[in-house]
Amino acid sequence: MGWSVELLGGVALASDSSLKAVGGTNQKVLVASLALRAGKVVSTERLIDLVWGEDPPDGARRTLQASVSKLRAGLGPDCPIDSDSGGYRLNVERSDVDALRYEDLAAQAFEVADVDPAVASPNLLALVETWEEPLAGLRVSDRMAAELAPLHELHGQVTERYCSTLIDSGDPATAVRLLEVLTRNSPTNEQSWLELSRGLVALGRRHDALAAVQRAREALRAELGVDLSPQLARFEVEILDGTASDAADFPLSVLRTDNLRPDPDGFVARTETDQLWAMLTPGTMVTLVGPGGIGKTRCVQAVGHRAVAEGTWSDGVWLVDLTTLSPDAPDIATAVSIAIGAGRLGSQATSRSVVDYLGGREVLLILDNCEHVRAAVRAFIAELFATRCSVAVLATSRIRLGVQAERVVALDPMSMSAACQLFNERVSEIGAGRFELESVEALCAALDCYPLAIELAAARTRTLSAREIVERLDRHPALASRRIGLDPDRAQDTLNQGARHASLDVALDWSLAQLAPHTRATLQRIAVFSSDFDLAAAESIVAIDGSSAADVVDDVGVLVEHHLVVRDHARERFKVLEPIRQTLLAHEGLSNEIRRHHGEYFVELAFQIGAGVFGPEEARWWDRFEHERTNLRDAIRWAADEGELGHVETAMNSMALLVLEGADVDPGEWAEDALSRSTAQLVDLPCTALTAAAGRALALRFDECDQALGVLDQHLTDPRLRAMMYFVKFYRNPGEAQRWVGSMLDAAIEADDLTLSALAKARGLRADAIACADEHGSAAIRTTTRVFTYATLPSADQPGSLYLVEDAYRLAMTSNNQMAIVQAALIRGTSLCRAGNVERGAPFLLESLEWALRRRLPQHVWSVIEAIANLLVVMNREPETSALLWAAVEATDIAPFTRVVRHAEHPRWVEARLSATELEHARATGRTLDMDEAAREARKTIERFADA
* 558-574 residue pLDDT tens: 887 655 787 776 567 88
Query: Rounded to the nearest 5°, which phi and psi values hold at 544?
Result: -135, 175
| Residue that wins the pLDDT comparison between 171 and 196 | 196
pLDDT confidence of residue 49:
85
Arithmetic mean of pLDDT, 77-90 = 83
Q: Show the DSSP H helices in 55-141 as ranges.
A: 60-75, 98-115, 117-130
Instruction: Note the pTM of the prediction, 2 decimals.
Output: 0.50
What value does the mean pLDDT take over residues 864-871? 86
Percent share of the chain, pLDDT over 90: 17
Mean pLDDT, residues 400-424 taken together? 88
How far, in Å, CA of 511 to CA of 528, rounded? Answer: 19
Question: In this model, does residue 925 exceed pLDDT 70?
Answer: yes
How big is the chain, counted in residues?
Answer: 948
Cα radius of gyration (the chain)? 33
SS3 state of residue 263 = coil
Lowest model confidence (mean pLDDT) among 271-275, 276-280, 508-512: 508-512
The DSSP bridge partners found for residue 565 are: 576
The answer to whether 41 and 84 are in contact (CB under 8 A) is yes
Q: Is the pLDDT of residue 415 over 50?
A: yes
Condensed to tens digits (0 to 9), the pLDDT of residues 93-138 reads: 888 888 888 888 988 888 888 778 888 888 888 888 888 888 887 8
pLDDT of 743 above 70: yes
> What's the pLDDT score for residue 693?
94
pLDDT at residue 598 in the model: 95
Q: Residue 124 and residue 254: Cα distance in Å, rounded?
A: 15
First-to-final CA distance of the chain: 72
pLDDT at 902: 55
Instruction: Tell me the pLDDT band of 814, cut-offs 50, 70 and 90.
Output: confident
Residue 397 has pLDDT above 60, yes or no: yes
The string of pLDDT tens digits covering residues 590-599 is 889 999 999 9
User: Going by C-beta distance under 8 Å and a sequence separation of 6 or more, which residues neighbour residue 118?
Assistant: 165, 168, 169
Assess whether pLDDT exceeds 70 at residue 194.
yes
pLDDT tens-place string over residues 654-704: 999 999 888 887 899 899 999 999 888 898 999 999 999 998 888 778 889
Confidence of residue 249 (pLDDT cuts 50, 70, 90): very low
Residue 319 is inside which H or E element, if any? strand 317-321
Q: Are 659 and 665 a contacting pair, CB within 8 Å? A: yes
What b-and-e string marks burial along 248-262, b requiring 16 or more CB atoms within 10 Å of the CB?
A: eebeeebebbbbbee
What average pLDDT score do residues 754-766 get?
A: 86
Q: Which residues on adjacent β-strands are paired with residue 287?
A: 395, 408
| pLDDT for 314 beyond 90 | no
User: Is the pLDDT higher at 841 or at 261?
Assistant: 841
Q: What average pLDDT score do residues 455-483 get?
A: 61
Task: State the pLDDT confidence band at 645, using cuts at 50, 70 and 90.
Answer: very high
Confidence tier at 292 by pLDDT (50, 70, 90):
low
What DSSP element (H or E) covers 5? strand 3-6
The pLDDT assigned to 501 comes to 27
Across the chain, mean pLDDT equals 81
Q: What is the per-residue pLDDT for 222?
A: 81
Mean of pLDDT values over 293-312: 86
Judge contact between 726 and 743, C-beta under 8 A.
yes
Predicted pLDDT at 481: 35
- Following DSSP, what letter does each residue of 728-749 receive, concatenated? HHHHH-GGGHHHHHHHHHHHHH
| Mean pLDDT along residues 783-811 | 83
Q: How far apart are CA 457 and CA 555, in angstroms?
A: 13
Question: Is a pLDDT exceeding 60 seen at residue 476?
Answer: no
Across 238-252, 401-415, 854-868, least confident range: 238-252
Side by side, the strands of the sheet bearing 392-397 are 317-321, 364-368, 392-397, 285-289, 407-410
**pLDDT-above-70 percentage for the chain:** 86
Q: How confident is the model at residue 514 (pLDDT cuts 50, 70, 90)?
A: low
Per-residue HEC secondary structure of 607-647 comes to HHHHHHCCCCCHHHHHHHHHHHHHHHHHHHHHHHHCCCHHH
Higher-confidence residue: 210 or 606?
Answer: 606
Phi, psi torsion values for 348, nearest 5 degrees:
-140, 100
Among 140-149, 258-267, 368-377, which stretch is predicted with the lowest mean pLDDT? 258-267
Q: Residue 493 pLDDT more than 80?
A: no
User: Per-residue confidence at 278, pLDDT binned at 50, 70, 90?
Assistant: very high
